Homo-oligomer: A and B are copies of this chain.
């Protein structure tokens, strides 16, 4: 792999200037964190899941983020309606396949959404993405991250099959559209020691996708900014509680020099 140069900060500035509305149908565990991370990045989160209003809300948004973490059958129905509205408007739709592989309902719901709607970015950890790809893996709750296969190849194949961008998060993150890909080596272990950073990553990707048509670049830039901030935060914290608070502080004040100096992006 060779180092790649992307202008992640330029997109961050565009987020801060444009303040795009990011519509979410997400899980109830991390819903505050998903909203707040969008907010401290400078954009405008909105959470709405009523069947009667999701289409209208997506139509006034600049990106739609779906996360199946605490799914129900009704909630998946609302996701499909929102995604159809987003497709019609032409805004990017991000699907976090949170917990795929844990139950049949999760697998079935993800595949239904992928079959019935146009999903622009599919995001998950290695075992979740493997499951969505049809490989026979078993997740351990929502935390597992170990799959025996070449992750880059896995991302590429699913991206080609689904004609979507695929993001695999983990110690290294992979972003692929089947042809081009980035590997992001920012971040730190503390991100995996608290609840919410995975869901927040999907919201950040949605936020950056709202301001940039090249969705591979948008996803990579969002992850770089989020994870560079996490590296700053871990240095200022005394554990997972203070880390989370500092993460918001560091995102809010993220500047060009920090992003440029610290980003570790490879091809």
Task: Tell me if A146 is interfacial: C-beta within 8 Å of chain B.
Answer: no
Task: Tell me if A126 is interfacial: C-beta within 8 Å of chain B.
Answer: no
Distance from A113 Cβ to chain B, minimum over Cβ atoms (Å): 15
Distance from A249 Cβ to chain B, minimum over Cβ atoms (Å): 3
| A53-B248 contact in complex given A40-B194, A239-B253, C-beta closer than 8 Å | no
Partner of A239, one of B28, B71, B196, B248: B248
| A71-B56 contact in complex given A35-B29, A36-B194, C-beta closer than 8 Å | no
Q: Of residues 7 to 48 in A, which have CB atoms within 8 Å of B's CB atoms?
A: 19, 21, 27-33, 35-36, 39-40, 44-48
Closest to A143 in B: B44
- Interface pair A238/B249, CB less than 8 Å apart: yes
Distance from A66 Cβ to chain B, minimum over Cβ atoms (Å): 15
| A195-B35 contact in complex given A71-B50, A104-B56, A253-B239, C-beta closer than 8 Å | yes
Instruction: Give Cα A248 to B71, complex, Å.
Output: 27
| A142-B46 contact in complex given A240-B252, A241-B247, C-beta closer than 8 Å | yes
Partner of A103, one of B48, B142, B193, B196: B48
Partner of A141, one of B21, B56, B194, B196: B21
- Interface pair B50/A73, CB less than 8 Å apart: yes
Instruction: Give Cα A69 to B39, complex, Å.
Output: 16
